[in-house]
């Protein structure tokens, strides 16, 4: 706290922006002049109306408090007046824990890990893919529904009139092309530069497989809550740099029909002090029994997990075979068609980890990472063996298997509705240590079923094509 207050003075900060996150994972903020921020702000917090945020309080009990976490402070690179951003936890007016605060749930998951004695730290590293479009239009109403996107590098613009310099990205042909085909190199460089200045450790960036401006930037792993903080910062920077260049960024899983979607592959590992718990030389993919049990927990609970890691109706338009989408609930070393992949290239004992490839970035990272950890820990405690449970290993291209062989492989839920039923039936592992509560899970399910109802009741333009003349 004192360090933050000193920085405000030394850097001549004019405003402090306090940030909170709603149940769905959207950030919100309130801005206070720097001269009004003192030690009392960090002890007493900042009041706000909880009834105005999705998933929080009703209007008759709406007073809530945002408690700043000084460890999250950084200088905002997008605001003209020098502004410091600080992430907050949410508490009740009497300073008791608010059980629906997503960041609070993540912190409770880390505390539960410590109390379990199974490990001292869990590390997470998400690979969050995104698109940068030049234009997006959409509408949904009684007189019509549509969406329209455009990108200067999209394959459908090869015949565009006016100045057209070619070098379009072919459908599914966007992995690692050089400039000028990769038209967004400078933009991603700028994003990475700002991420570094804001405290993220950027590892690499590149164009991704899809046409129309799909990219990926990887930043270094960290502890569970800190990684969720970092992911929100990452998305904030991507969106604002895109806007600066007259583009719009989306982390929607499947914005384009007929090409690869955007996932969020999540790398995970456990440590006991400095000792990696997922490594054992000579084991399958050099994995320890602890790691295999953790995988067993992830795959056993995957149908329920997916209600939190893939929580949009659009998520399941990505989770279909043929687009590098990991719909198969198996594990494998190096195999990107499996839900859980064990990286084996250039991996040291401390870098030994598992990668859950199913999630996408519509997930609230605090809830998704906490749920993954709880599933993995349940697997360790119950010694769930992924081999005995029929989850592999599967070290061949699953898409090339015969129909009979594919029939033996368990699949991810085919819809958000299916995933919510699975979560309804399988959530006791999330309640351990009071990390999640029944109220949170019931509220989540109700919110998501409301979204499904909105989508299902909306007339789809495709229905005109299929049924108008019948």
pTM for the model stands at: 0.96
Q: Which of 216, 222, 280, 378 is catalytic?
A: 216
Q: What is the pLDDT of residues 288-315, one digit of tens each?
A: 999 999 999 999 999 999 999 999 999 9
Q: Does 281 appear as a known binding residue?
A: no
Q: Label residue 322 by pLDDT band (50, 70, 90).
A: low
- On whether residue 283 sits in a domain, the answer given is yes
Name the residue range of residue 36's domain: 1-98
Same domain, 78 and 128: no
Q: Does 447 appear as a known binding residue?
A: no
- Return the pLDDT at 200: 97
Q: Does 206 appear as a known binding residue?
A: no
Q: Label residue 344 by pLDDT band (50, 70, 90).
A: confident
103 is catalytic: no
Q: Does 318 appear as a known binding residue?
A: yes
- Return the pLDDT at 212: 96
CATH number, domain at 178?
3.30.590.10
- On whether residue 354 sits in a domain, the answer given is yes
216 is catalytic: yes
Q: Does 216 appear as a known binding residue?
A: yes
Residue with token string 């399958």: 284
- Return the pLDDT at 62: 76
- Return the pLDDT at 54: 74
- On whether residue 116 sits in a domain, the answer given is no
Same domain, 163 and 246: yes
- Return the pLDDT at 2: 85
Q: Label residue 395 by pLDDT band (50, 70, 90).
A: confident
Same domain, 246 and 376: yes
- Return the pLDDT at 165: 87
265 is catalytic: yes
% of the chain surpassing 70 pLDDT:
98
Q: Label residue 346 by pLDDT band (50, 70, 90).
A: low
- Return the pLDDT at 326: 83
Q: Does 324 appear as a known binding residue?
A: yes
Which range among 109-113, 265-269, 393-397, 462-466 shows the weakest confidence by mean pLDDT? 393-397
Neighbours of 186 (CB within 10 A): 11
The pLDDT of residue 357 is above 70: yes
Same domain, 429 and 284: yes
The stretch 326-355 carries a mean pLDDT of 87
- On whether residue 109 sits in a domain, the answer given is no
- On whether residue 410 sits in a domain, the answer given is yes
Q: What is the pLDDT of residues 276-288, one digit of tens each?
A: 999 999 999 999 9
CATH number, domain at 52?
3.10.20.70
- Return the pLDDT at 320: 86
- Return the pLDDT at 324: 64
Q: What is the pLDDT of residues 50-100, one digit of tens each?
A: 888 877 866 666 789 999 999 999 999 999 999 999 999 999 999 888 999
150 is catalytic: no
Domain end marker among 63, 98, 133: 98
Same domain, 60 and 195: no
- Return the pLDDT at 323: 62
Q: Which of 190, 289, 336, 426 is catalytic?
A: 336
- On whether residue 111 sits in a domain, the answer given is no
Q: Which of 127, 152, 182, 222 is catalytic?
A: 127
Q: Which of 11, 38, 49, 463 is catalytic?
A: 49
Q: What is the pLDDT of residues 7-38, one digit of tens each?
A: 999 999 999 999 999 999 999 999 999 999 99
Give the count of domains, the chain.
2
Q: Does 355 appear as a known binding residue?
A: yes
Q: Which of 100, 188, 265, 300 is catalytic?
A: 265
Q: Which of 76, 110, 129, 182 is catalytic?
A: 129
Same domain, 136 and 15: no
- On whether residue 381 sits in a domain, the answer given is yes
Same domain, 126 and 93: no
Secondary structure in 3-state letters for the chain: CHHHHHHHHHCCCCEEEEEEECCCCCEEEEEEEHHHCCHHHHHHCEEEEHHHCCCCCCHHHCEEEEEECHHHCEECCCCCCCEEEEEEEEECCCCCECCCCHHHHHHHHHHHHHHHCCCCEEEEEEEEEEEEECEEEEEEECCEEEEEEECCCEHHHCCCCCCCCCCCECCCCCCCCCCCCCCCHHHHHHHHHHHHHCCCCEEEEEECCCCCCEEEEEECCEEHHHHHHHHHHHHHHHHHHHHHCCCEEECCCCCCCCCCCCCEEEEEEEEECCEECCECCCCHHHECHHHHHHHHHHHHCHHHHHHHHCCCCCHHHHCCCCCCCCCEEEEEECCCCEEEEECCCCCCHHHCCEEECCCCCCCCHHHHHHHHHHHHHHHHHCCCCCCCCCCCCCCCCHHHCCHHHHHCCCECCCCHHHHHHHHHHCCHHHHHHHCCCHHHHHHHHHHHHHHHHHHHCCCCHHHHHHHCCC
- Return the pLDDT at 183: 94
- Return the pLDDT at 88: 97
Domain end marker among 98, 129, 160: 98
Q: Which of 100, 103, 188, 357 is catalytic?
A: 357
Domain end marker among 39, 66, 98: 98
The stretch 334-339 carries a mean pLDDT of 80
- Return the pLDDT at 274: 95
Q: Does 432 appear as a known binding residue?
A: no
Instruction: Please provide the average confidence, as pLDDT, over all residues in the chain.
Output: 94
Same domain, 211 and 161: yes
Q: Does 268 appear as a known binding residue?
A: yes
Same domain, 413 and 274: yes
Q: What is the pLDDT of residues 408-464, one digit of tens each?
A: 889 999 999 999 999 999 999 999 999 999 999 999 999 999 999 999 999 999 999
- Return the pLDDT at 52: 83
Q: Which of 69, 153, 182, 208 is catalytic?
A: 208
Same domain, 376 and 410: yes
Q: Label residue 396 by pLDDT band (50, 70, 90).
A: confident
Q: What is the pLDDT of residues 151-204, one digit of tens each?
A: 999 999 999 988 888 899 999 999 999 999 999 999 999 999 999 999 999 999
Q: Does 315 appear as a known binding residue?
A: no
Q: Does 220 appear as a known binding residue?
A: yes
Same domain, 257 and 165: yes
Q: Does 289 appear as a known binding residue?
A: no
76 vs 21: CA distance, rounded Å? 17
Q: Does 267 appear as a known binding residue?
A: yes
- Return the pLDDT at 402: 75
The pLDDT of residue 405 is above 80: no
Q: Which of 182, 259, 355, 378 is catalytic?
A: 355
The stretch 142-147 carries a mean pLDDT of 93
- On whether residue 114 sits in a domain, the answer given is no
Same domain, 316 and 357: yes
355 is catalytic: yes
């Amino acid at each position: 706290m004192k360090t933050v207050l000193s920085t405000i003075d030394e850097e001549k900060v004019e405003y402090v922006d306090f940030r909170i996150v709603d149940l769905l994972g959207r950030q919100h903020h309130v801005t206070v002049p720097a001269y009004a921020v003192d030690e009392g702000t960090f002890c007493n917090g900042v009041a706000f109306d909880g009834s105005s945020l999705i998933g929080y309080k009703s209007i008759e009990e709406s007073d809530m408090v945002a408690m700043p976490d000084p460890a999250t402070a950084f200088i905002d690179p997008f605001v003209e007046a020098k502004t410091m951003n600080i992430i907050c936890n949410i508490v009740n007016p009497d300073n008791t824990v608010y059980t629906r605060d997503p960041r609070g749930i993540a912190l409770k998951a880390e505390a539960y890990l410590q109390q379990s004695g199974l490990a001292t730290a869990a590390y997470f590293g998400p690979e969050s893919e995104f698109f940068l479009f030049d234009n997006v239009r959409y509408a949904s109403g009684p007189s019509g529904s549509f969406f329209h996107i455009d990108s200067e590098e999209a394959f459908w613009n090869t015949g565009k009139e006016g100045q057209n310099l070619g070098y379009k990205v072919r459908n599914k042909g966007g992995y690692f092309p050089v400039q000028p085909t990769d038209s967004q190199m400078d933009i991603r460089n700028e994003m990475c530069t700002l991420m570094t200045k804001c405290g993220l450790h950027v590892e690499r960036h590149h164009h991704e497989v899809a046409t129309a401006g799909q990219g990926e930037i990887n930043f270094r792993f960290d502890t569970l809550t800190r990684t969720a903080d970092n992911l929100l910062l990452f998305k904030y920077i991507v969106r604002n740099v895109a806007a600066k260049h007259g583009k719009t960024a989306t982390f929607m899983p499947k914005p384009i029909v007929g090409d690869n979607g955007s996932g969020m592959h999540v790398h995970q590992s456990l440590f006991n002090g400095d000792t990696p718990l997922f490594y054992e030389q000579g084991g399958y993919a050099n994995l320890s029994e602890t790691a295999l049990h953790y995988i067993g927990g992830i795959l056993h609970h995957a149908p329920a997990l997916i209600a939190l890691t893939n929580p949009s109706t659009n998520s399941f338009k990505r989770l279909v075979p043929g687009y590098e989408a990991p719909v198969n609930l198996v594990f494998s070393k190096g195999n990107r068609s499996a839900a859980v992949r064990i990286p084996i290239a250039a991996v040291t004992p401390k870098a030994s980890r598992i990668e859950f490839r199913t999630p996408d970035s519509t997930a609230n990272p605090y809830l998704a990472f906490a749920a993954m950890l709880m599933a993995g820990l349940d697997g360790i405690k119950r010694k769930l063996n992924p081999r005995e449970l029929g989850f592999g290993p599967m070290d061949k291209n699953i898409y090339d298997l015969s129909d009979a062989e594919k029939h033996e492989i368990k699949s991810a839920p085919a819809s958000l509705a299916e995933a919510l039923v699975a979560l309804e039936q399988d959530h006791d592992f999330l309640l351990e240590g009071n990390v999640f509560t029944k109220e949170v899970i019931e509220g989540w399910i109700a919110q998501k079923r409301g979204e499904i109802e909105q989508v299902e009741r909306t007339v789809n333009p495709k229905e005109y094509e299929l049924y108008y003349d019948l």
